[in-house]
Structure 1
């Protein structure tokens, strides 16, 4: 608002031209007024920095309308105010029809300076605001045209498209003009089996709810085309006045998820078959072992028993690891105190102690999160002894939680390999427990780090967790 305003004032009476210029500058120190006494002189003074022209109507070498016509040819949007003593309806009508910005009768001129100065300042500010809005709109348009996502703005009931970028043609395979003419036409681009679901989601947004929805596009050809829309209502005084959002092509992601599920199913079937084929000889060997035990105590039979127990652990871990997968499909709010207590009860080690100090709720997959705690509890008992004390709590930086024991800990040189498949620091370990924990953490898109606990034991820090407020 403090920027100066360059004005050209044209009046064929030299003394009056200078007087008006001087008094306008006195009324508003932002105004810098150049006086001119003819149409030709005034137009010569108009330049790129001029933001307003004030002109009398009747001039020696023309009229104020001649000024308007000539100035607008080079500066189409420059404001022009007629300040004249030629006041009749015909002149005013011609001036307004020609596009004059404003029209003032001089009257008692000394009384008009304040009003004229105010009109000039207000007119220029309005033009500046409009110009800046046009610039912002142009920049947003240019930015939106660089996006691969469809960016859109509808009115509150989806009946009018206020903005949509050209990515619509690529994603929905319809011309942009088509949806601008008939806003509801994009529903016809949706796969028939998904149209009802999409229509219901649109109704929910118009009712004030935000929506995220995946659906298919009705494309020609064998390949499915999936998109994901994120839509939000703009609510003013309780009414939905705008609907904004974006839609992106997620066909590749969907294909990857489907392929991953196929591979996981295949791996699950393979692991089940392998486990079945292993369990049959295991059952035979275990049966003969029990029979041999019944006939007498033999130290060698204990070694066979230990081997069979380890084999059973490997089979169980193999099945568990095969069924984890690389992604988590569904998460829900999970109370960590409740879940850790349930997992601890399933371990059933009477000499061990659990300090369950956390009071947080996080978003996670309930079954897989339980596997994390059960495996970390078993790992602590296995490495720190049956009288181990285990603590579960929230990290100080509130990025996640930790499970800590008071055992010997994990040396820094072995912390990375401890999370790999088949690596164990004990003779009886299978080397799968921590690998399973790592797989589940990554499936949740969390991070796992092994550090040293307060008592020198192993501390497993799980971060990037989303908390339920």
Structure 2
């Protein structure tokens, strides 16, 4: 203990405490000496004794606090009143004593001081705990991550402000509620709720000391992919975790980049396949017919030469179409940033002029305008219209076992990029608005697409038609993806194929 005093009447009081209570006491009137002791050796408490607590006492307490802000302080004074600034000084206990007791102070006085010191220690311990809690809370509240805790019953006991900002709800709407109920409200898919609850239970029961998982949340700000880490919530007892701490970080951008990279890699795989196989086939046809044409020419069979050159031309057209489709797919790999408000009906009608035929008709009656890249949306319609026209006609309707990826119209390399083939029977195509108001559809009255092929048709290179590139509907999906839209296939209202596009930002045209 450091005994700092300004009055000779208190000089022997430190000796009294040392003799009766077993303290090791440094007794001094020099504030600098007391501060030096605090700075060099551990001190359990400081007793400041003075006749009347004024400037000297305040300065002494301030110097002590400046050196060790946590050390318990005891102020001994014979004054009947103490200035409020002394009473309010952090972690300072005031004890009034009789200055005349001097070094021969009674046992009762010594016991009183010891009790006051014990209370000061307890108060200091509680205050330190409160300070630590305030520090932890300040750290957690300053984090950019979402942090919350749950108890053993999986009820939320604490959440930081960041979590409330994401969910856009008041604290009382989260704290005290079951994590399962909150998860069912925010998580996109039911299986994720069970997976999250299971992770919490494994940590709380001590089966594991940490869990990591990714969840997709439907929040007011939109869909968010959260990366979660779950760890035990420990208390001072030895009964195991009292709950769990969840730290959640928004990883939407990272996951989006990973998914984009995955799509790009898949696209590269498709390109490799086309370059190594699909392009090689027509190239071999061209080379073979060119060699045969030379032989026919040498023999003077010019009719055969013309046939050979026609085959070469068809092979070149086939390669040209494949290259065009590959470039189109490659361009769709970037997000559609150049958007404007586009009248769907007007653009669909314009796109029809490049694809439609005398035997096919179009109705565009959505009454909608969308925020889209006009050039890409035109390609979107052209590929869907070409798909309907070529497969809705009699000469291209698939026979039993045929694929329905509408990328080809016949032998010799004609593909979805070639609208010259005239269908033998009419097909009607309609562009309309979805009932939910969040998108539009394109449907025809052709043969339709079987349920088991409705995902496969969007795969690059998928086509069982002779000469088909298999890129038409892949391009459709790529354009939808670059806009953040979702395109699916179902049955049309008149039995044909119906392509529904959702997630579109629409306006009345």
Shorter-chain TM-score: which interval? 0.3 to 0.5
Greater gyration radius:
2
**What TM-score, normalized by structure 2, do the two folds share?**
0.39
**What TM-score, normalized by structure 1, do the two folds share?**
0.42
